Amino acid sequence: MSIIVNNVIKGFSGTEIIKDISFEFEKGKTNLIIGQSGSGKSVLTKCIVGLYEVDSGEVIYGGENFSAMNKSERKKIRTQIGMLFQGSALFDSYSVEQNVMFPLTMFTDMSKEEMLERVNFCLERVELENKNHLFPSEISGGMQKRVAIARAIALNPQYLFCDEPNSGLDPKTSIVIDNLIHDLTKEYDMTTVVITHDMNSVMEIGENILYIHEGENWWTGDNHSIVTTNNQEIGDFVYASEFMKQLRGKLI
Amino acid sequence: MNLFEHIGRFILMIGQAFKKPEKWSVLRKNFIIEINTIGISSLSIVALLSLFMGAVMVIQTASNIDSPLIPAYTVGFATRQSMILEFSSTMICLILAGKVGSNIASEVGTMRLTEQIDALEVMGVNSINHLVLPKILASLFIFPFIVLISMGLGLIGGGLIGTQAGIITLEKYIMGLQYYFDPFSITYSLIKTLFFAFFIATIPSYFGYYVNPSGGALEVGKSGTKSVVASSMVILLINLIITYFLLL
Ligand SMILES: Nc1ncnc2c1ncn2[C@@H]1O[C@H](COP(=O)(O)OP(=O)(O)O)[C@@H](O)[C@H]1O
Ligand SMILES: [Mg+2]
């Protein structure tokens, strides 16, 4: 099911950060929120998942108005949301296995064996077999991201959010993570929302793109239309380096 | 934010902490972990402090008695009174407010900074309940034992130095310990301890939980300092209030 954002406005102490954004994040696609640093990508995402309350407007999950729900009504939606945070946000005091098991322990009545089976399935899916008993501090940044993905998909979510999944990763690992997110989206037919300012990701997995400029919905499209658009800000974003600008001259 | 806004938000946090937990089994597990981090890991420092303080009190009391009219057992009596009434509860809790408090503030603050708290909330876990309740329960449970241990060791430390240095005989010391002993003094100390324990767990949790994540590690460090200062002041204030009502 899709996520629809209607006229969302959000500010902090008088400064409006998100200025009337509307957009539909489509099911079975990797939807991207892109834009420069400080443009409001994280704030918008936190409004969508309910970490921030919107000042006005609404967020609709599969036809249900999430913004109008109270805490206990939201819980039902929350267990269908998986989220990958910028810094992975793994629980430091838990092992890899305990991290992935945590949502299962909290929200299911599975037996220990069933949980372990699910954990191992998720860890295998992100190609992290036999790392169960390591701690987050003992594994690399790319592995931490993959553990966080395994934790995010543990409850078989319908919605997956990824806040800058590539930040702090080398280009090769970034592509591995991007592809993993893309494949999982197709496999489980999830509505995936990826925040990024990485042009590689945009080109690789940008099926449905929302470009935010200073808190406004500035442009929407996909990875094909983004390279040919005449929009000034998009052009500056896509062709940020001199090298790319020259390349653009040759392309268009 | 002014003091009243802080107090308001603190009370709301306590309200959230005492909501029904998602899973009792998870609470039980976290409770045991917290008993270890808050209580067991503090035992060695408490033991050391208490033994030495008991010893010093015996020496000081003895050195201040010049008059032959004051009986020797006064040394035991005075040491007992100071240990039980103030040192083992108030002083030990003040010290633990520093040790345990900064530990809790940096743990919770780091979880805020690294979005672990956001991760809990997005999953649908009540993060305050999940993080703070086990700390409150563990503190309320373990602090009375810590204080009792401190009382015992303080008196033993005093006895050891008193007899070994030839300040007082064991019989006289024990006689002093028993002289006009009112068991209520221990009850009074333990009542104070429960209040201290509650605030040692909750004030640092508060400062850690509401740390401004854009301030980074610096803010987390400051939250530790703030929580030690605030909880020490609350301990001193509560000590005054409870002593006034229970002993006057
Ligand atoms: N909790 C907050 N309080 C006040 N201002 C905030 C808060 N969170 C974000 N901002 C501001 O909102 C703007 C957008 O931030 P953000 O969404 O994090 O940008 P990005 O697009 O890089 O993710 C920034 O100017 C930031 O300072
Ligand atoms: Mg961001």
Q: What is the pLDDT of residues B64-113, one digit of tens each?
A: 887 888 888 999 999 999 999 999 999 999 999 999 999 999 999 999 99
For residue A40 and ligand 1, the question of a CB distance below 6 A is answered with yes
CA of A40 to the centre of ligand 1 (A): 6
Which residues from chain B sit within 8 angstroms of residue A103, using beta carbons?
A: 123
Q: Calculate mean pLDDT across residues A138-155.
A: 93
Banded model confidence at residue A121, pLDDT cuts 50, 70, 90: very high
Q: Is B16 on the interface with A (CB under 8 A)?
A: no
Task: Report the alpha-carbon distance of residue A18 to residue A212 in Å, rounded.
Answer: 9
Q: How big is the A-B interface in CB pairs under 8 Å?
A: 51
* pLDDT above 90: residue A248: no
pLDDT at B221: 95
Give the 3-state secondary structure of chain A: CCEEEEEEEEEECCEEEEEEEEEEECCCCEEEEECCCCCCHHHHHHHHHCCCCCCEEEEEECCEEHHHCCHHHHHHHHCCEEEEECCECCCCCCCHHHHHHHHHHHHCCCCHHHHHHHHHHHHHHCCCCCCCCCCHHHCCHHHHHHHHHHHHHCCCCCEEEEECCCCCCCHHHHHHHHHHHHHHHHHHCCEEEEEECCHHHHHHHCCEEEEEECCEEEEEECCCHHHHCCCHHHHHHHCCCHHHHHHHHHHC
Q: Calculate mean pLDDT across residues A202-226.
A: 91
Banded model confidence at residue B43, pLDDT cuts 50, 70, 90: very high
Token pair 């006895």 in the structure block, residue:
B159
When CB atoms are compared, the residue of B25, B110, B124 closest to A75 is B124
Token pair 């033991």 in the structure block, residue:
B47
* Mutation choice for A interface testing from B16, B19, B115, B120 by most A CBs within 10 A: B115
Judge contact between B89 and B193, C-beta under 8 A.
Answer: yes
Judge contact between A218 and A34, C-beta under 8 A.
Answer: no
> How much is the pTM?
0.91
Contacts of A221 (CB under 8 A, 6+ apart): A209, A211, A229
Contacts of B74 (CB under 8 A, 6+ apart): B61, B65, B176
For residue A196 and ligand 1, the question of a CB distance below 6 A is answered with no
Q: Is B212 on the interface with A (CB under 8 A)?
A: no
When CB atoms are compared, the residue of B26, B115, B122 closest to A106 is B26
Q: Is A90 on the interface with B (CB under 8 A)?
A: yes
Query: Which ipTM score applies to this complex?
Result: 0.90
Judge contact between B57 and B158, C-beta under 8 A.
Answer: yes
pLDDT at A251: 66
Length of chain B: 248
When CB atoms are compared, the residue of B114, B122, B125 closest to A106 is B125
Q: Is there a contact between A105 and B114 if contact means CB atoms under 8 Å apart? A: no
Determine the residue of A19, A32, A34, A43 to mutate for testing ligand 1's pocket, defined as the one with the most ligand atoms within 8 A of the Cβ atom. Answer: A43
Listed by start position, the domains of chain A span 3-251
* Mutation choice for B interface testing from A106, A107, A158, A162 by most B CBs within 10 A: A106
The CATH class of A3-251 is alpha beta
Listed by start position, the domains of chain B span 3-18+25-247
Q: Per-residue pLDDT tens for B157-214?
A: 999 999 999 999 999 999 999 999 999 999 999 999 999 999 999 999 999 999 998 8
Task: Report the alpha-carbon distance of residue B220 to residue B227 in Å, rounded.
Answer: 11
